A and B are shown apart, each in its own frame.
Chain A
C-alpha cells in the first residue's frame, strides 16, 4: 500500500480523467492499482468541496459544522447512489446498443469523471474574494464541469467498447433522455393528481 502511494501511479487515474479519458478507460480495465477506492476518494473530495463552496456563498452559521460532518456523509451517500444508478443505466444502454456488459469499469469511469468538479471550490473562493457575482459563477462552472464530466464518460465508453464517439454519445444520452422523460411524466402525473385533489 505504502509502496503504491510512493510510486504515484495512483495519480494516473486523475491525470487521465482530466487530460485523456481514453487512457482512463484502459487504466480502469487494467486495474493497477485498484480504481474503486481511488474513485470513491474523488466522490468524497467532491462532496466536501460542494458543501464548503455552498457554505461560502450562503450565510455562515454554526450549522456549517453539522454540514461538514453529517452533511458530508449524507452528500457522499447520495452521490454514490447517483453514480451507481447512472453507471447501471449506462451499462444497460450499452447492452441495448449491442455492446457487452462492462458494469464495473463504467462505474469506475463515472466516479473519476467527477474529478473536474474538484476545481469548483477554489474558483468560487476567487470570485467570492473579488466580490464578482460568485453565485452566477458557481452555476456557470457547475454547468461547465457537468459538460466536462459528460465528455469524459462518453470518450471512456467509446474506448471501453471500441465504438465511435457518436455511438458512445447515443449510449450516454439514452438514459439521460429516459430519466428526463420519466421525471417529466412524473411531474405531469403529480400535477394532475394535485388538481384532482383540489377539485375534490
Chain B
C-alpha cells in the first residue's frame, strides 16, 4: 500500500507540474511579440497572408524523420504550401528563405509548386534572410516579388558536384578498395580513385543541362530573357544590394516589409492577419528535445564531405 501511495503522490506531483507548465506556456505565448501572428488552425476567418519558411539545406527529409514529428525539409515546405493553397483565407504567401540551396530535385519540386500557386492567382513574395543562394534563389525566382536585406547573400546561380579525392591518403595508409560494378560509370565520382576524362565529360554534360534548366526556370519565374541573367549566372554570390542592381531581386527590405508588400499586392488591409506556423513555447521545447526543430547541424552540413547527392544547386563557400 505504501508503495502505491508513493506512486500516486508522484503522479499528483506530475499533474501539478503539468499545470505549472501550461500556465507558463500560455503566459509566454500571450506575451510573445508575434501575437498578431496566428496559426493556420486558428479560428480566425479574416483573409490574410500565409507564411512558408524554407530554412537550411533544401532536400527531401532524411532518416531523422519519424511518424510522431512534423515532416522536415522539402516535404514540410510542400505540405505547408498545399495547406496554404487550400485555405480560402490565404490571399498572399510570403516565402521566407534562409537557405544555401540543396538537391536539384527537391529545389525543382518547390519551384514547381510555387509556380502552380502563382498560376492560381496567389500573390507570392519572397523574403530573403541571411542567405538565399543557388537553390534558395531558384525557389525565390518563382515568386512575383523578391525582397532581400542589403546584406543578404544571394545569387550563386549554378550547379555543383563535389567529391573529395582520397586516393593519395588511402595509398599512404595502404588501403585498397575492391569495387565490383555492372557498368563503367557505376562508381562515378568515387573518392577512392582519380576521375577519368570520359567521366568528367559525362558529369559536365549533366551539370550543363541542369544549369540550363536553372536559367530557364529563373527566366520564367522572373519573366526576363535568359540573356539578361546569364552575365551574373556564373556562380557568383552577391549581396542584396548588388542583386538589386543586377535585377535578380525587386526590392530591399526585411520580413515585415515583405508582409506589407504582400498585403498591398493582394489588396488586403494593412492589419490583415499573418498565418504563420506558430508554435507555443512548450511545442518548441518538445520539438527541440527531439531535434526536429533547431536540429544541430550534422558534420556533413558543416564540411563538404561526400553525400549521396550527385548534383546540387547549392552555395558551398
Contact = CB atoms under 8 A, between A and B. Distances in A.
**B: contact size bracket:** 20 to 34
A64 B280 CA distance: 15
A8 B26 contact: no
A52 B8 contact: no
Given A14-B8, A118-B15, A59 B22 contact: no
Contacts of B283: 128-129, 131
A61 interface: yes
Interface string B19-30: 101110111011
Contacts of A18: 8
B68 A130 contact: yes
Contacts of B25: 56
Given A11-B5, A129-B286, A56 B30 contact: no
B43 interface: yes
A88 interface: no
B22 A8 contact: no
Given A59-B43, A125-B18, A130-B68, A15 B23 contact: no
A64 B8 contact: no
Nearest to B7: A15
Contacts of A68: 23
B220 to A, nearest CB: 35
B21 A125 contact: yes
A24 B208 CA distance: 79
A15 B30 CA distance: 37
B282 A60 contact: no
Interface in A148-167: none
Identify the interface centre among A55, A68, A125, A131: most chain B CB within 10 Å of its CB. A125
B2 A56 contact: no
Contacts of A52: 19, 22-23, 26
B42 interface: yes
Contacts of B22: 52-53, 55-56, 121, 125
Which 7 pairs, one residue from A and one from B, show the smallest C-beta to C-beta distance?
A: A8-B5, A122-B18, A11-B5, A60-B30, A52-B22, A60-B29, A129-B286
